[in-house]
Amino acid sequence: MDLGAIENLSLKSLWPGEATHFTPWLAQNLEILGKKLGMDLQLESTEVSAGDFSADIIARDLSSNKLVVIENQFGGTDHKHLGQLITYSSVLGAGAVVWIAEAIRPEHKAAMDFLNLNLKESLSLYAVEASAIRINDSKPAFILSVVSMPSETNTSVAEATQGTSETQEKYRSYFQQLIDELREKYKFTNARSGQPQNWYTFASENSKVYKFGTSFTTGGKLRVEIYIDCGDKTKNEQLFDKLLEQKNEIQAKIGQELSWERLDNRRACRVAIYRDGEIDAETEVLGEIRQWAIQGLLKFKEVFPPFLQKALQQSIATGS
């Protein structure tokens, strides 16, 4: 048997500069990090000012809406970067911080573990070792290994201390089962933790423009939606109007009539489907509701992206 030899590569051999090459690359490939952390990460910005320092990457975890600060470091961890992470989290109001380095020193792992144990739900800290390998003359492979993260036990204790209502726990249980099936069976999301809330948002191929979501709404309804929000009301409405021009074709592919919601009094626009459904329903009914939501989300992800891509290209071509 002819076996290959593994060659360990430094990050610098692949990305000459941490700030100039690695950070921009990671910012455009957050899906890789998100899979490791169990998050659907959407890029907010890079090199964000935080006092006298600049945070490498600011992202948002769509499932919890928490701001995530990501700090990159070639080589081994040091005290300076640990201090900067704490500073960034306080100045920027982050809900999670991620420290990526080629080697996490034992004392820094211990510090992260200690902070996760004591800060509990107020701030989640992740320490991640980054490396690269090559087998003979193969392409290099990038590897991320999570060294420290909040434990599920600590999170549960924190939530019990803070107190969640019976209804919130019902939402958590419902969405936990929903995201587990979407992740494990359909690779639809990276999310791993159900939240005690009545909604869940999921990343798309272009989350800066649109996202998928499902929620329990007022009036005893459950909604599955595509939510259009590129940060500009005029552009959102233009994209919505271009989709509306293709209404018949889209609805034919979805297989049912859609609710077209321009939301004139809000920045975003929405296209959705609804059905009756409440979180207090019997277990069997909740199971039916959950399957309806899962199939709706899968159908939306199958149908909408090509139409949105076409609408975006038309907007660029017309300069709108």
Whether the CB-CB separation of 155 and 121 falls below 8 Å is answered with: yes
Whether the CB-CB separation of 269 and 226 falls below 8 Å is answered with: no
Does the pLDDT at position 315 exceed 70?
Answer: yes
Whether the CB-CB separation of 66 and 56 falls below 8 Å is answered with: no
- 3-state secondary structure at position 103: strand
Predicted confidence at residue 319, as pLDDT, reads 63
Query: Which CATH entry fits the domain spanning 6-157: 1.20.200.10, 3.90.1200.10, 3.40.1350.10, 3.40.50.300?
Result: 3.40.1350.10
- Ramachandran category for residue 215: left, alpha or beta (phi over 0 → left; psi -120 to 50 → alpha): beta
Tens of pLDDT, residues 6-17: 999 999 999 999
Predicted confidence at residue 163, as pLDDT, reads 58
Q: Which CATH class, in words, describes the domain spanning 164-318?
A: alpha beta
Q: Which of 58-62, 118-122, 230-234, 248-252 has the lowest mean pLDDT?
A: 118-122
In this prediction, what percent of the chain has a pLDDT beyond 90?
Answer: 80
Say which residue the tokens 């329903």 belong to.
281
What are the residues whose beta carbons fall under 8 Å from the beta carbon of 245, sequence distance 6 or more?
Answer: none
Does the pLDDT at position 318 exceed 80?
Answer: no
Tens of pLDDT, residues 118-172: 886 689 999 999 999 999 989 999 999 999 999 764 444 444 445 578 999 999 9
209: which DSSP letter?
A: T
Q: Which amino acid is it at 73?
A: Q
Whether the CB-CB separation of 132 and 143 falls below 8 Å is answered with: yes
Query: Cα–Cα distance between 277 and 299 in angstroms, integer?
Result: 19
User: What residue segments make up the domains of the chain, in order of their start?
Assistant: 6-157, 164-318
Which runs of consecutive H residues, i.e. helices, occur in the chain?
Answer: 11-14, 23-27, 30-37, 79-92, 106-119, 152-162, 166-186, 233-244, 247-254, 283-318
Tens of pLDDT, residues 170-196: 999 999 999 999 999 999 999 988 989
The model's pTM is 0.83
For range 209-219, the mean pLDDT: 95
Q: How many CB atoms lie within 10 A of CB 56?
A: 23
Whether the CB-CB separation of 121 and 159 falls below 8 Å is answered with: yes
DSSP string, 138-199: SPPEEEEEEEE---HHHHHHHHHHH---HHHHHHHHHHHHHHHHHHHHH---------SSSE
pLDDT, the chain, mean: 92
Residue 278 is encoded by which pair of tokens?
Answer: 């409440």
Tens of pLDDT, residues 256-311: 999 999 998 999 999 999 999 999 999 999 999 999 999 999 999 999 999 999 99
Residue 156 is encoded by which pair of tokens?
Answer: 């549960």
The band of 320, judged by pLDDT with boundaries at 50, 70 and 90, is low
Query: Cα–Cα distance between 110 and 107 in angstroms, integer?
Result: 5
- 3-state secondary structure at position 48: strand
